[in-house]
Amino acid sequence: MEDVAEEAVDRCLTLGAEFADIRLESISGVNIIVMDGKTKTVTARVESGCGVRAFIRGGWGFAVCNSLDRAKVSAACETAVRLAKVSQEKAKVEFEIDAAPTLRVRSEYACVEAPSSIPLSEKLSFALGADESMRSHDPRISSRNTRYEDYEGDRVVANSFGSAVTTKEFWTLASCAAWGRSDGIVQRGHHSVGSVGGYELIRSEEAIGTGERAAEQAIRLLDSKPAPAGKFTCILDNPMTGLLAHEAFGHACEADAVLAGASVLEGMEGEKVAHEGVTLVDDPTIPGTFGYFPTDWEGVEAGKHVLIERGVLKGFMHNLETSSRMGAVPNGASRAESYSSPPIIRMSNTFIEAGDSKKDELIEDTKSGLLIKGGQYGYVEPAKGQFMFKCDEAYEIRNGEIGQRYRDTILTGIILEVLNRITGIGDDFRLADPGYCGKSGQDARTTDGGPHIRVEDIVIGGLT
C-alpha cells in the first residue's frame, strides 16, 4: 500500500495542492452484543479503502474511496483537490501548513493472539457467559447488556512532507452493564476491560469477571440510600479523577476548540489554572493501554502532552492545522475513526499524575465528606468550563471513617475552581475505564485515570 499512497500524494501536488496526505486502511473486526440472554447482533467488519486530503491556502478538500485500486484512488485525489479549490475561495482564514518532521517508520502493536485467529463461536461464548454471570448473580438483576469488540488492521499514512508511516494495529474490548430493580428503584452497574493487543486480554481474570463485577455494583446500589445535596469535601477515586481530567479539562485543551472560541482556556497558556501539585497529562505512548498509538493519523510522531505542569497551563493538543495557525509544534494528537472520516484532535490516555499522599491518609484526615467512586456519564461545556457527572457510588466519610453508601450522586462545578480547590493528591496512580470518546460524530479509543484526590467544596446533587 505504501507505493499507492506516495503516488496519490504526488498526484494531489501535481493537481495544485499545497499540502496533501492520504490514509489507506485494510481492516477486519467483530462486534457482538448480547442482551438479556439473547444474541442481539454479531457483526463482522472486513473493508479497505482510503481517505485523501488536499489543502490550498486555508481550504481543505477530503475525498473517500472504498477501494485501493490505483485508478479509483487517483480519482479520489482529483476530487479532493477540486474540493480544496472550492473551499479555499470560501475560507475565512488564509494560512499555510507548516512543515512537520519527515517520519518514515513501521510499527506493530504487541499481540499474542490475533483476534482473527479465534473462532467466532468462542467470542460469542464469552459474551453469553458474561451475560449468564450477571443473570445468576442475584434475582434482582432485571436487565443485562454485554459487548465484545475486536479490531485488527493495516494503515499507511503518507503526506507531502515525505512521511510514510505503516502501522499494524490490534485492540480488544469487553464491557458489561447490569440493571438491578427493587421496590421501584432501578440501578446500573458496569465494568469494562480493553487494551491494544489481541484476544489474550479476554482470557484474563479481569475480563472473565466483567459481568460479575457489573452485577455486584448494581446490587450494591439497590441497597444504598439516596445521596445528600450540598457542598462537600470529596475524595475522588482513580476512575473519577480520570473522568474529571478527560471530560472536564481535556476537551478544553483540544486546540481546535481553542481556535473555535469554544474553550475556557483560550489565551491562558502560562497561567496558573490548578493547585500547584497538579500535573495533568495526555499520553498516547503508554504501551498496553486502550489509548495507545505511536504515530498519529497525519503521520506525526505521538508524544506525551503535558497540559498542566505544577498547576500551570503548558499547552494544547494539536494537529497540523492548529499547530500551524497557533505557531506551535505539532504533537501527534490527530486521529480518525476510519479512513472515511477526516482526522481531528483527540485525547488518548488522559490523567492526573500521582502525588505523595497515601489514600488512607486522605480519608483519615477528612472530618466530614464523601468518597466518590467511578463515573457513569457526564455533561461538559468546554467554552464555560462547566461540568456535571453522575457517579457510580459515594460513601460518607465521618471523622476519617468510611460509612453509609449512597446512590444517584451527581457532581457539578466549574473546572478551574475545582482544580484550584484540590488539597491532597494520592500516590496510588492507576489508569481505568477503557472506552470510547465521541467527538464530531467520531469515536476514538481512550483511557483515563489518576490517583485518589481530595477536593474541597464540590457541589453534590442527588436524585430521589
Beta-bridged to residue 171, according to DSSP, are 151, 196
pLDDT score for 461: 84
Grouping H, G, I as helix, E, B as strand and the rest as coil, residue 5 is helix
CATH number attached to the domain at 2-223: 3.30.2290.10
Q: Of 97, 446, 52, whose CA–CA distance to 245 is shortest?
A: 446
Asked whether the beta carbons of 295 and 331 are under 8 A apart, the reply is no
Asked whether the beta carbons of 228 and 461 are under 8 A apart, the reply is no
Q: Name the percent of the chain in helix, strand, coil, to the closest 5.
A: 25, 45, 30
Asked whether the beta carbons of 186 and 180 are under 8 A apart, the reply is yes
Tell me the pairing of strands 225-226 and 401-407.
parallel
Asked whether the beta carbons of 49 and 64 are under 8 A apart, the reply is yes
pLDDT in tens, the chain (464 residues): 889 999 999 999 999 999 999 999 999 999 999 999 999 999 999 999 999 999 999 999 999 999 999 999 999 999 999 999 999 998 889 999 999 999 999 999 999 999 999 999 999 999 999 999 999 999 999 999 999 999 999 999 999 999 999 999 999 999 999 999 999 999 999 999 999 999 999 999 999 999 999 999 999 999 899 999 999 999 999 999 999 999 999 999 999 999 999 999 999 999 999 999 999 999 999 999 999 999 999 999 999 999 999 999 999 999 999 999 999 999 999 999 999 999 999 999 999 999 999 999 999 999 999 999 998 888 899 999 999 999 999 999 999 999 999 999 999 999 999 999 999 999 999 998 899 999 999 999 999 999 999 999 999 986 54
Mapping DSSP onto H, E and C, the string for 81-133 reads HHHHHHHHHHCCCCCCCCCCCCCEEEEECCCCCCHHHCCHHHHHHHHHHHHHH
> How far is 303 from 298, CA to CA, in rounded Å?
14
Domain boundaries, given as residue ranges, for the chain: 2-223, 226-462
Position 271, amino acid: E
What's the whole-model pTM score? 0.94
Q: Of 179, 189, 209, whose CA–CA distance to 375 is shortest?
A: 189
